[in-house]
Amino acid sequence: MTTPEKEMETKIVKIKLPRALFERISNHCVKTSILVDDFILDAVAEKLELVNKERRRRPRL
């Protein structure tokens, strides 16, 4: 049986991060036993959810 995550279409995104930021992310991922790609994917998803919630709080004209 396949999970929805395995059925999800993916795209490759290249980004440039400052070396210091990448090292912080990498160190965190080693300590928590998570892949860097998974960490970044989760961080982007959380940010988008937060932005969406903030938009809904704004009064509409």
Span 13-35, pLDDT tens digits: 999 999 999 999 999 999 999 99
Q: Is residue 7 part of a domain?
A: no
- For residue 6, being part of any structural domain is answered with no
Q: Residue 10 is encoded by which pair of tokens? A: 């993916």
For CA atoms 40, 53, 3, 7, give the dihedral sign.
negative
Give me the domain span that covers residue 22.
Answer: 14-57
Name the domain count of the chain.
1
Model pTM? 0.69
pLDDT class of 58 with cuts at 50, 70, 90 = low
Q: Which pLDDT does position 53 carry in this prediction?
A: 78
Q: How many helices (H) and strands (E) does the chain have?
A: 3, 0
Q: Is residue 9 part of a domain?
A: no
Whether 2 is covered by a domain: the verdict is: no
Give a yes or no: residue 20 inside a domain. yes
Q: What average pLDDT is seen over the chain?
A: 85
Tell me the mean pLDDT in the region 5-14. 81
